[in-house]
A and B are shown apart, each in its own frame.
Chain A
Amino acid sequence: MSDSTELRSYTVRLELVDRPGELLRALSPIADHGGNLLSIFHERGNVTPRGQIPVEVDMEATPDQFDTVVDALRGEGINVIQAGAEQYTEELTVVLTGHLVNTDLSNTLERIQSATGANVDDLSLSAPEGDEGISSARVRLATNAGGADSALETIREVADEKDLRVIEPLTAGEGA
C-alpha cells in the first residue's frame, strides 16, 4: 500500500446500457490509461432493476493508474458501481512449525509481507510447550493474482534461515 508504482489487482463493477459498442466503450479507458485487463464478466442475461447490464472487470494497475482509469470511466458517463476496493485474488495457507517464538514470529511475518506484497489475513498460534518449545502457526495470506508462488518462495527462504518447517498446501489440479 505504500508503493504507488507497484501493480495491484482491482475489481470494478460497471453497469452498461444494453446497446451495441457499449462494452468496448467501457473497456477502452482501462487500456488507454495503462491498466492491464485480467478478466471481464459480462452478465448479459442478468439485467439490473434500472435495465442495465452488470459487468465485472478485473484488472491490474498501479494505484495512480487505477484512479485515472476510474475518473476516465466516469468522464465517459459510464456507471461505476464499485471501485477502489482493493481485491486480493489468491489465498495461501501454510502451517509453520519449529521454534517460532524464539525466532521472532512477528519478524517472520513482516518479512513475508514486505517481500511479497501479501497480506496476513489470519494467524493462529499454538505453543503447548511454552515460548521455548516447538510451536506451530497457521498463516493465511492474501496475495495479488499470481502472487502465491512467489509468496511461498519467500516463506521457504525465511523458514530455511530460521530453521522452521513449512507445511505447504497441496493445490490439486493447479495449472490444469
Chain B
Amino acid sequence: MRLAVVGAGAVGSAVAELAGEYGHTVTALADSGGAAVDPDGIDVDGALTRKEAEGTVGTAPTADALAGPYDVLVEATPTTLGDAEPGFGHVRAALERDCHVVLANKGPVAERYGEVRALERESAGEVYLEATVGGAMPVLSTIADFGAEHIEAARGVLNGTANFVLSRMAAEGLGYEHVLAEAQDLGVAEADPSFDVEGTDAALKCVILANVLYDREYTLSDAAVEGIRDLPGSALELAAEDGRTIRLIGEVKNGAIRVGPRLIPEHGALAVTGTRNIVELETEHAGLLDISGRGAGGPETATAVLADVGRLAE
C-alpha cells in the first residue's frame, strides 16, 4: 500500500520508519511546517534527519501530501478537541477522493464520530482506528471480531501517565507532586500533564469505545470525568491496608461513560503498574476478556496503525 503520513511526531515518524518492513511505501510525510512527497516513495531517513536538523520533514507545502498519490492516509497529527481540526479536514480530504484512512489521532472519532462515519458511507475508502484506543493493544479489532453487540461493558486503565503516578505513589508511599515531577523527568509525563492527570485522554478513549460499542455519536461532553490531580497519598495507604489500590479507571457501561479514580483489588487484573494499560471487556457469552500491553509510544502505536493498514490491504 502507498501511505501518506500526516503528522511526524513520535507515532507518525515510527509509522514512516516501519512501513517498509511491513511491505508498504511512504509516498508522503508531512508535519505542520512542510512535507516530503514522492510518488515512488520518499527517503524516510532523510526526511526525519531533516526534521531533527531543521524542524520540518520537507519543503513542499503540507497540502501536497494530501493531494499526492496514496492508498491510505495515516492521520497522526496531535489530538485536538472541539472541531478536531486539522485532523478532521484531512480525513474528509482522503475520503472524498475515495482513499482509506487510518487514524492515530483521537480527535475526529471522539468529537465528530457521526460525521466521520457519514463521510465513510459516501466514500469507497474505509476508516480504521485501532491506534486511537490503547496504543498497541488490539482492543477495537477484538470488539469487531466478537461483534459490538456481544460486548456488554468495557473498562480499564487507559492512560499510562496517570497509572504510573498512582502505582508509584502506592508502591513508594510518595506524594502526588513528588511522583509527578519524577514522571516529568523520565519523560513519562508532559510539562503540562493536565490532559493525562485530569482524565481527558482516558475519557477520549472511552468515548471512542462507546461510539464503537453503541454505534451512535458520543463526544467528550457525554463523559463524566474526574482526574487524579492532588490525590493524597493517605488515600492510597488506606486502600492498601484493605488489600485494595486506586487506579484511574475508564468505564463504558449501559450507555454511560465514566472516568475517575476507583478502588480496585490490589492484586486484581486491572491493577497494572507503571505505564502499562489494560482493557477488560465484559462479553455476552465468554465472560471477562483482558487485553493488556503498552498503551502509548511511537513504535507501539505505529504497530496498531500498520495492523490497520494490513487489514485494508487484504
Which residues of chain B from 246 to 288 have any CB-CB distance to chain A below 8 Å in the complex? 246, 249, 251, 260-264, 268, 270, 280, 282, 288
Expressed in whole angstroms, the minimum distance between the Cβ of B266 and any Cβ of chain A is 12
Contact B241 A93 (CB under 8 A): no
Contact A124 B241 (CB under 8 A): yes
- B: which residues have CB within 8 A of A? 152, 155, 231-235, 237-239, 241-242, 244, 246, 249, 251, 260-264, 268, 270, 280, 282, 288
Contact B270 A97 (CB under 8 A): no
Residues of B within 8 Å of A128, CB to CB, are 233-234
Cα–Cα distance between A173 and B268 once the two chains are bound (Å): 13
Residues of B within 8 Å of A173, CB to CB, are 282, 288
Residues of A within 8 Å of B231, CB to CB, are 97, 165
Q: Considering only CB atoms, which chain A residue lies closest to B264 in the complex? A: A170
Given contacts A138-B239, A176-B152, contact A168 B263 (CB under 8 A): yes
Residues of A within 8 Å of B232, CB to CB, are 97, 134-136
Contact A97 B235 (CB under 8 A): yes
Q: Which of B155, B237, B242 contacts A93 (CB 8 A)?
A: B242
Contact A138 B155 (CB under 8 A): no
Q: Considering only CB atoms, which chain B residue lies closest to A127 in the complex? A: B234
Q: Considering only CB atoms, which chain B residue lies closest to A170 in the complex? A: B262
Residues of B within 8 Å of A169, CB to CB, are 244, 262-264
Cα–Cα distance between A137 and B304 once the two chains are bound (Å): 42
Contact A170 B251 (CB under 8 A): yes
Expressed in whole angstroms, the minimum distance between the Cβ of A151 and any Cβ of chain B is 15
Q: Which of B234, B244, B260 contacts A136 (CB 8 A)?
A: B234
Q: Which of B238, B251, B282 contacts A126 (CB 8 A)?
A: B238
Residues of A within 8 Å of B235, CB to CB, are 95, 97, 136, 167
Expressed in whole angstroms, the minimum distance between the Cβ of A148 and any Cβ of chain B is 13
Residues of A within 8 Å of B288, CB to CB, are 172-173
Which residues of chain A from 139 to 176 have any CB-CB distance to chain B below 8 Å in the complex? 140, 165, 167-170, 172-173, 176
How many residues on A have C-beta within 8 angstroms of the other chain's C-beta atoms?
22
A109 touches B (CB below 8 Å): no
Cα–Cα distance between A126 and B249 once the two chains are bound (Å): 24
- A: which residues have CB within 8 A of B? 93-95, 97, 124, 126-128, 134-138, 140, 165, 167-170, 172-173, 176
Contact A97 B246 (CB under 8 A): no
Looking at B251, B263, B264, B268, which has the most chain A CB atoms within 10 Å of its CB? B263
Residues of B within 8 Å of A93, CB to CB, are 242, 244, 263
Residues of A within 8 Å of B234, CB to CB, are 97, 126-128, 134-136
Contact B155 A172 (CB under 8 A): yes
Contact A176 B246 (CB under 8 A): no
Contact A124 B282 (CB under 8 A): no
Cα–Cα distance between A173 and B264 once the two chains are bound (Å): 13
Given contacts A97-B232, A170-B251, contact A138 B262 (CB under 8 A): no
Residues of A within 8 Å of B270, CB to CB, are 170, 172
Contact A167 B262 (CB under 8 A): yes
Residues of B within 8 Å of A168, CB to CB, are 260, 262-263
Contact B263 A95 (CB under 8 A): yes
Q: Please name 5 further chain A to chain B contacts, defined as beta carbons within 8 Å, in addition to the given A97-B235, A172-B268, sorted by A numbering.
A: A93-B242, A95-B235, A95-B263, A168-B262, A168-B263
Expressed in whole angstroms, the minimum distance between the Cβ of A89 and any Cβ of chain B is 20
Looking at A124, A135, A167, A169, which has the most chain B CB atoms within 10 Å of its CB? A167
Expressed in whole angstroms, the minimum distance between the Cβ of A163 and any Cβ of chain B is 13
Residues of B within 8 Å of A138, CB to CB, are 238-239, 241-242
Residues of A within 8 Å of B238, CB to CB, are 95, 124, 126, 136-138
Complex A-B: 5 CB contacts under 8 Å: A124-B241, A124-B242, A128-B234, A134-B234, A170-B251
Residues of B within 8 Å of A95, CB to CB, are 235, 238-239, 246, 263
Contact B282 A170 (CB under 8 A): no
Cα–Cα distance between A176 and B151 once the two chains are bound (Å): 11
Cα–Cα distance between A167 and B233 once the two chains are bound (Å): 13
Looking at A93, A135, A170, which has the most chain B CB atoms within 10 Å of its CB? A170
Expressed in whole angstroms, the minimum distance between the Cβ of A33 and any Cβ of chain B is 37
Cα–Cα distance between A164 and B241 once the two chains are bound (Å): 21
Residues of A within 8 Å of B244, CB to CB, are 93, 169
Expressed in whole angstroms, the minimum distance between the Cβ of A17 and any Cβ of chain B is 40
Cα–Cα distance between A127 and B237 once the two chains are bound (Å): 11
Looking at B231, B234, B246, B264, which has the most chain A CB atoms within 10 Å of its CB? B234
Q: Considering only CB atoms, which chain A residue lies closest to B240 in the complex? A: A138
Residues of B within 8 Å of A176, CB to CB, are 152, 282
